[in-house]
Structure formats: structure tokens, C-alpha cells
Structure 1
């Protein structure tokens, strides 16, 4: 008995949380058990790591940042994701290892292959069944974040150049694994995006 692992990726402000909530609602209407979670912060340990990596006021070395994300991932997969999948639940997750490759690899200009290897080791090789990449140019994404009228975290506050590198990395990851990724234009209406996501998940559910 195995569930389905769906992750949402993309830059900040593209609508990942909105689409994750809509997918959860749709799956529950079909009678599925749904575990909705996020990285970092999907566990009590992860909440403490999230506070450090996103809200620490001082400098964090990029390699230390990457290791903190990997530590969160290792604990989260072992204690939340794998047990849920093993009992047949649908796991919907906001961010996973592709975010590490994009943000710490491309954004922080570390070796992307090393970051991916580290992430896969932390997750004991677990890859999602479906990864939804909500794609939006960095200028439009920043406008959305500005409209939220809430303080930026450490990554949201980075330059447009940083976010452009992150976006390019996400698109490259999707191009390399088209069977796993669903790339969606995040400028589309929310309902249209949700329909595309549901169609891909329904296909994987058979």
C-alpha cells in the first residue's frame, strides 16, 4: 500500500500554498487521506530550523544553510512523509529537494550536483511522484510579494538577479525530468491552474 507524493515548487509569491490547499480539498472530496506539509518546518525540529534559515538576522554561510535544509529534510522524510506514504496517504508538500538545488545551488552559487546529492542522501533517495512547478518571472513574483504587505524572509529579500537564477534552475530541472514535473504558468487564473494540477494527479492515480 503506497500513497502519492506531490510537491509544489517555484519562486516566492507564485501561489504554491493556494494550489496545495485546492489540491488537498479536491483529494479529500474523493475520499483520500491527505497529509499536507512543508519544508522547512513540517516537524517540531523543522520549525526550529525554519526560524534559523529564514529569519536569522545575521549572516549564514551558504554551505551551512544547505546543510540545515538537508537536516530538516532527513528528519521530515523519516518522521512524516515516508510513514504517510506507507499507509497509502496522499502527501502534498510545499517545497522539497528541488528548492535546495535552485536556491542553494543556483541562488547561492554552490555546486548544484553536490546539493542534489546531499538532498537525495538526506531523503534516502525519495523523489516525488509529481512535482508541480509554478513558473512566474521574478518581477511579477516580487509585485505579488509586495502586495502581501508582510515582512520578507531572508530568501524573499534577495535581489532580482538571485531570483532570476533560481527560476532558471527550476526550469532546467523540469526540462531534465519531464515525466515528474508539471510546469504551469502561474500567471493563469487560480481555477485553471488547479484544473491542470488535478488532471495530472488524477492521471497518476489511475
Structure 2
């Protein structure tokens, strides 16, 4: 995993985080925030093409089925964005962050849910009433608290558990409050990169 974190100046780490965060995503507002974040980082695109589009004037033209052109474009307005990550073109290079994200999801599923839920509530409460500059400390504190209160299976590498836990907390907070996604994503990215530099 250390090799992953050192590649492409954090871009692969950002891909891993986004892949983790978008898994099993059913919250529409959260999905929109993920798309906006990924698009801003040039790591995602909306495969439903729900982005900004230029509206054409309705000049009365008809489609071949007899419906006005404007009704066709408006019928797609309720389709929600689907995030498609921009993986590296090299299939081997793309497989590494995909595999790491999947491994982290498996580890996250094994963490004790009640302890993680409490840490998620703590983190959300702390970041709701503080400046972004303090978020790294709050995230670190909650990760450390959970690590002291859960039983970590012996076969799991501690750094992967910490990364899975970090992303689980971020996802938990952002599913409840999608407005925190961009800043909390950046906080998690910095936290993970700093941990890997130790």
C-alpha cells in the first residue's frame, strides 16, 4: 500500500478514497457531492451526462417521433448522476487502486459497527462546529479512539485498518452531511499521505 500512496503525487490515493466513498452510494445529495468533488479533481465524470448543458431555443422543431425537441431534453432532468472514476489508462496501474479500495471495504466491513458509529457521530459533531484547519486533529483523534476500542483481527495490517477506518468515518459523516465531503476528503487525503510518510 505504501507504493500506492507514493505514486502520482497522491492521485492514486485520491482514486482509492473516491472508489471507497462511492461504493454502495444511494444518497442522491452525497452522490452529487462525490461527482462535483471528483470532477473538480479531474478524477470522475458523470456517465449520464447530467453536467451543465447549453439549452437551445425551442424553435418548434419536432423529433422524428413527433415530440418537440425541448421535451426530450427535459425528460432527462430527473436522472441522477452516476460517478465513473477516471482510472489510469494502463490496466495494471488502474488495478492497484481498485484492488486497494476493495481490500479497504472488506476491512471496513469487519470493524465493530457500534464503536465506529460513535466515532462517526463524534467526528461530525466536532467538524460541524470548527474550522477546517482543525479537522485533521479531530479525524486523527477519532481514528485513534476507535483503534483502542476495537479488536483488530491479527491477519490485518494495521496501516490498512487505519486507512479503512479513516475512510469509513469520512463516508459515515458525509452520507449524513454531504456538504462536508470536499473538505473532509481533503483532510483524509492529507492524513493518509502524512501517515504513509512516517
Q: Tell me the TM-score normalized by structure 1.
A: 0.27
User: When you count helix as a share of all residues, which structure comes out higher?
Assistant: 2
User: When you count strand as a share of all residues, which structure comes out higher?
Assistant: 1
Q: Tell me the TM-score normalized by structure 2.
A: 0.28
More relative contact order, 1 or 2 (CA 8 Å, 6+ apart): 1
